Amino acid sequence: MKKLFTILTVIALTIGSIGISSARQSQSRVQAESVAGVFDYYLLALSWSPTFCLTHKDDAQCTGKGYGFVLHGLWPQYAGGGWPQSCPPLTRLSAAETNKGLTLFPTKKLLDHEWSKHGTCSGLGAMGYLDKSDQAVAAVNVPAELQPFSSSYYFEAQEIADLFRKANPGIPADGIAVICSGPQLSEVRVCMDKDLQFGACGKGVKNQCRAGDIRVPPAR
């Protein structure tokens, strides 16, 4: 019995080791295959600012900003699922690029992260990526019902998606996803082609909210 237990333990450890090794190889393969400009479409992520700041309380740049939706990022995506990230050559933003980025992103920390992880994969260069992000945000009309307000509102996730589609008739039913942080609205993500025309999302992009009403916290 003791010998059998030892054999089973060795088998379990071996399987676990293989699983970890495969996961690491898969991650390495994704990194190796991440090439700037090689992707299928963009995912525009718009964060609901009050929730972003509630979950980033250590970020001083959040204080006192009465924003509604703000740019989280413009993310190159693969239609089959997943995305490229941290595409070489990795470069830091210049002072001029940082100044431009801070007119789009709510914090410098987020700006630097988004450029490093996602912007480098656009193949547009830093200023080109920032201009593209600016154009993408401008292409989406935020519904009047979801402009900044002073008290909490409650909607179902599908209601929020429907409000965005009503305000932007070109967004298909499978071209938008609503994301929550616990019981609260966190983000709305809109899928766009490389020319920033609305289109269907790729594999894996879907609503991530609980059933029933979700809270949309007020602007701070």
Positions of E strands within 24-121: 41-48, 69-77
- C-alpha 189/C-alpha 42 separation (Å) is 10
- Catalytic residue of the set 56, 97, 113, 118: 118
Query: Are 69 and 106 spatial neighbours (Cβ–Cβ below 8 Å)?
Result: no
Whether 118 sits among the annotated catalytic residues: the reply is yes
* C-alpha distances in Å from residue 139, one per residue of 125, 186, 192, 197, 208: 21, 20, 10, 9, 24
Helical segments of 77-197, H only: 95-101, 108-117, 125-139, 157-167
- Catalytic residue of the set 33, 72, 145, 156: 72
Whether 159 sits among the annotated catalytic residues: the reply is no
- C-alpha 133/C-alpha 139 separation (Å) is 10
Whether 113 sits among the annotated catalytic residues: the reply is no
- Catalytic residue of the set 33, 56, 97, 114: 114
Catalytic positions: 72, 114, 118
